[in-house]
A and B are shown apart, each in its own frame.
Chain A
Amino acid sequence: KQEVTQIPAALSVPEGENLVLNCSFTDSAIYNLQWFRQDPGKGLTSLLLIQSSQREQTSGRLNASLDKSSGRSTLYIAASQPGDSATYLCALEIGGFQKLVFGTGTRLLVSP
């Protein structure tokens, strides 16, 4: 069974810091890996999607990398802002057609 772990579980940083969120998984047989953010009381917003054949994806201040062989992905957030405060979830597509296995999440707080 695929296990997906995110470290740290919670993170508090001052505005402007660069930070890294980690996601590790036990089975490298994946179709893709996605990073989502979830704001309180709201659904999930897809941030980045990395295909299994890719190594990284970038969108604005966000960069996500994927190393299947080691079972790891990282989400790098540059120059963090208070608006980045949310819970960040990684998710693996394992069975095709969006049967996602989600990680445990990292709750991020960026203070002004």
Chain B
Amino acid sequence: GAGVSQSPSNKVTEKGKDVELRCDPISGHTALYWYRQSLGQGLEFLIYFQGNSAPDKSGLPSDRFSAERTGGSVSTLTIQRTQQEDSAVYLCASSLGLGVSEKLFFGSGTQLSVL
């Protein structure tokens, strides 16, 4: 596609519910990243996928958060038993994944509001 696509753009949920956020990276990009942007914390790294390698999950804040990437393309970030502190903008990015120091291309994000 022309850019990184994320859906939904907005999600309102009740505390305790599970949510799934979707990311379609740029075609041909092997690296995919999830970041979270919240008022109190700024932008934080969550998880990174590169090809068929095991993902780097070091940024996930708790075991309620998980992510998968199917077929080396689309990724889903799942938050179980959502809490109010999970409210944030979740940003996905992709890159060619050939090495360090590459430009990242970001999607417009999913604004998650937990009531």
**Which A residues have a C-beta under 8 Å from some C-beta of B?**
31-32, 34, 36, 41-46, 49, 51, 89, 91, 93, 96-105
Q: Is the CB of A93 within 8 A of B100?
A: yes
Question: How far apart sit A89 and B42, CA to CA, in the bound complex (Å)?
Answer: 10
With contacts A31-B100, A99-B56 taken as known, whether A43 is within 8 angstroms of B107 at the C-beta atoms is yes
With contacts A32-B101, A49-B101, A89-B43 taken as known, whether A99 is within 8 angstroms of B108 at the C-beta atoms is no
Question: Interface range on chain B: under 10, 10 to 19, 20 to 34, or 35 or more?
Answer: 20 to 34
With contacts A31-B101, A97-B31 taken as known, whether A44 is within 8 angstroms of B106 at the C-beta atoms is yes
> Which residues of chain B from 90 to 114 have any CB-CB distance to chain A below 8 Å in the complex?
91, 93, 95, 97, 99-109
Q: Is the CB of A98 within 8 A of B109?
A: no
Question: How far apart sit A109 and B82, CA to CA, in the bound complex (Å)?
Answer: 35
B105 partner residues in chain A, CB cutoff 8 A: 46
Question: How far apart sit A32 and B105, CA to CA, in the bound complex (Å)?
Answer: 16
With contacts A31-B100, A49-B101 taken as known, whether A98 is within 8 angstroms of B107 at the C-beta atoms is no
By CB atoms of chain B within 10 A, which of A44, A49, A91, A105 has the most?
A: A44
> How near does chain A come to B70, taking the closest CB pair, in angstroms?
21
Question: How far apart sit A45 and B31, CA to CA, in the bound complex (Å)?
Answer: 17
Q: Is the CB of B91 within 8 A of A96?
A: no
> Which residues of chain B from 41 to 76 have any CB-CB distance to chain A below 8 Å in the complex?
42-45, 48, 50, 56, 58-59
B58 partner residues in chain A, CB cutoff 8 A: 99
> How near does chain A come to B56, taking the closest CB pair, in angstroms?
7
Q: Is the CB of A43 within 8 A of B91?
A: yes
Question: How far apart sit A42 and B9, CA to CA, in the bound complex (Å)?
Answer: 10
**22 residue pairs bridging A and B, Cβ less than 8 Å apart:** A31-B100, A31-B101, A32-B100, A34-B103, A41-B108, A42-B109, A43-B93, A43-B108, A43-B109, A44-B91, A46-B103, A89-B43, A97-B31, A97-B100, A98-B95, A99-B59, A100-B35, A100-B45, A100-B104, A101-B45, A102-B42, A104-B42
